[in-house]
């Protein structure tokens, strides 16, 4: 008989130790002291060896909450040493941030005072499993025990029963979702950003990187044990949220404030755009300036995509002055940040199609162009939970008759061009220059081309644009209103 242990025996023994420790803590016994009864308590608490795979519905998952409220959640994993946690909590206090901490059950058992301090400062505690084992390498029974015992220890030591779980790696597997449901938890939580350690980024690069993830409904994640610049990162995140005008709430508050997105196929109009190879005779309607129109109407249109820090102030300015505009969205940006697209739609603006990845449409095949348009349509539809305005804006404004036939055949018959081009996308253009160019070029029926790109001056030019055009008697309408249901057919030259 050999006395050597196999690798599997060692792994199993390693996994069993935290289970036994947790069982002892839950039963109020000392694992190594007097009192006995440890093994039976462990068997009862872990359900070993007969934890059956749960056959009920899987737990929900949360990585981005569907909401247009100007709030997001800052979350932390693990539990660093007492001094590091104290510094982190003080930094959060300094910025008035209420956060959510995913704590490992064993660390809470070791230092419950840290967990209690987190709660006392108004933060939320959730489940980071018992001992942060790699969920991808565990059996279902082991996964269940990690989640169940982690939550039980936290509840026993702090009096706060967790409602959510996050694994150490962020893995959201079927086993994790089933085990979370079996443990009575509301959801398995991922994140919209896991901020690891920086490398050689400059302060501006760090600022701009964080800016991309300050989104409505965002779930930001940092690991207190891994991250070496925790206080700097909290400052960067807090300042980024302040620039966007957003605030932080606990994860449970964020989830409760959010809604459920309907699946794409349940949204009327999701299939209004389709691939159609029979486009040789397809018609289309090109509309820019409505020449000869006696009405002094003008359309403000915004192309492409930007971060919340840029787009939200544009929406606020339009709302302040009571202007409805037309937005043509680059859908690869919408895909990453659907809540911002939904906020545009909720503002009463046109939401149109600007392709998925912004190709020059004369440089791709008709088949590629149709794929771009249909993909964008579906992403935008799912984001805003409604059929978009069926209006297409060609990236860069380049087109020809052949490409517009391919566009029209998809269902996007109306093509919105423009006649006022202040070149606001040029970063060296000042707000005054942009506003002056708009004023000089605008006439009755004009369509003004603006952009919602980061680091340009458009938002600062908007008040002057609106004020000066109104002073000249112009009314602002959306592209869909200017074109009208019975707009005459036009062809490209």
Residues involved in catalysis: 303, 451
Which is it for strands 446-451 and 414-416: parallel, antiparallel or unpaired? unpaired
- Residue 367: strand pairing partners: none
Running DSSP on this structure, what letter comes out for residue 186?
S
Q: How many CB atoms lie within 10 A of CB 471?
A: 9
Contact 140, 33 (CB under 8 A): no
Beta strands in 243-294 (DSSP E): 247-248, 285-287
For residue 491, with 0-12 CB atoms within 10 Å meaning exposed, 13-18 middle and 19 or more buried, which class applies? Answer: exposed
Q: Could you give the CA distance from residue 393 to residue 304 in angstroms, rounded to a whole number?
A: 10
CA distance 233 to 75: 12
Give the whole-angstrom CA distance, residue 154 versus residue 125.
8
Q: Where do runs of H (alpha helix) occur along 202-300? A: 203-211, 230-244, 251-257
> Angle at which helices 203-211 and 230-244 pack, to 10 degrees?
60
Place of tokens 């392709």: 355
Q: Which of 344, 300, 304 is nearest to 464 (CA)?
A: 300
Q: Specify whether the CB–CB gap between 128 and 77 falls below 8 A.
A: yes
Residue in 233, 238, 258 with CA at minimum distance from that of residue 248: 238
Are the beta carbons of 74 and 121 closer than 8 angstroms?
no
């Amino acid at each position: 008989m050999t006395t050597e242990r196999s690798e599997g025996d060692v792994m199993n023994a390693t996994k069993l130790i935290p289970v036994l420790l947790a069982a002892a803590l839950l039963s109020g016994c000392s694992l190594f002291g007097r009192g006995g009864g440890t093994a039976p308590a462990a068997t009862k608490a872990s359900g070993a060896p007969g934890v059956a795979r749960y056959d009920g519905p899987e737990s929900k998952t949360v990585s981005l909450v569907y909401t247009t409220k100007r709030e997001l959640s800052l979350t932390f994993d693990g539990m660093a040493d007492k001094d590091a946690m104290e510094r982190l909590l003080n930094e959060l206090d300094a910025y008035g941030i209420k956060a959510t901490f995913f704590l490992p059950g064993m660390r809470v058992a070791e230092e419950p005072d840290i967990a209690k301090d987190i709660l006392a400062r108004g933060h939320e505690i959730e489940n980071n499993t018992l001992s942060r084992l790699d969920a991808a390498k565990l059996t279902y029974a082991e996964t269940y025990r990690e989640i169940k015992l982690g939550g039980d220890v936290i509840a026993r030591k702090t009096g706060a029963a967790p409602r959510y779980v996050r694994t150490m790696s962020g893995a959201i597997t079927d086993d994790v979702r089933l085990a979370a449901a079996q443990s009575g938890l509301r959801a398995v939580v991922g994140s919209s950003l896991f901020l690891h350690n920086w490398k050689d980024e400059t302060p501006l690069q760090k600022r701009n990187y964080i800016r991309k993830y300050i989104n409505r409904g965002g779930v930001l994640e940092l690991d207190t044990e891994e991250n070496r610049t925790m206080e700097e990162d909290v400052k960067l995140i807090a300042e980024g949220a302040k620039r966007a005008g957003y605030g932080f709430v606990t994860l449970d508050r964020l989830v409760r404030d959010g809604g459920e997105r309907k699946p794409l196929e349940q949204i009327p109009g999701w299939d209004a755009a389709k691939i159609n190879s029979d486009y040789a005779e397809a018609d289309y309607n090109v509309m820019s300036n409505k020449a000869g129109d006696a009405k002094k109407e003008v359309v403000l249109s915004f192309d492409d995509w930007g971060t919340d820090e840029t787009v939200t102030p544009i929406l606020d300015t339009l709302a302040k002055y009571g202007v409805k505009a037309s937005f043509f969205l680059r859908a690869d940006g919408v895909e990453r940040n659907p809540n911002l697209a939904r906020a545009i739609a909720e503002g009463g603006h046109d939401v149109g199609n600007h392709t998925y990845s912004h190709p020059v449409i004369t440089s791709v095949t008709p088949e590629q162009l149709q794929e771009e348009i249909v993909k964008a349509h579906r992403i935008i539809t799912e984001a805003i939970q409604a059929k978009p305005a069926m209006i297409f804006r060609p990236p860069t404004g380049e087109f020809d008759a052949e490409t517009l036939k391919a566009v029209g055949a998809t269902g996007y018959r109306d093509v919105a061009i423009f006649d006022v081009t202040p070149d606001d996308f040029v970063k060296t253009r000042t707000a005054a220059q942009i506003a002056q160019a708009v004023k000089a070029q605008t006439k009755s029926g004009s369509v003004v081309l603006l952009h919602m790109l980061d680091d340009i001056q458009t938002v600062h030019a908007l008040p002057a644009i609106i004020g000066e055009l109104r002073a000249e008697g112009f009314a602002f309408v959306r592209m869909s209103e200017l074109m009208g249901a019975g707009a005459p057919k036009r062809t490209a030259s």
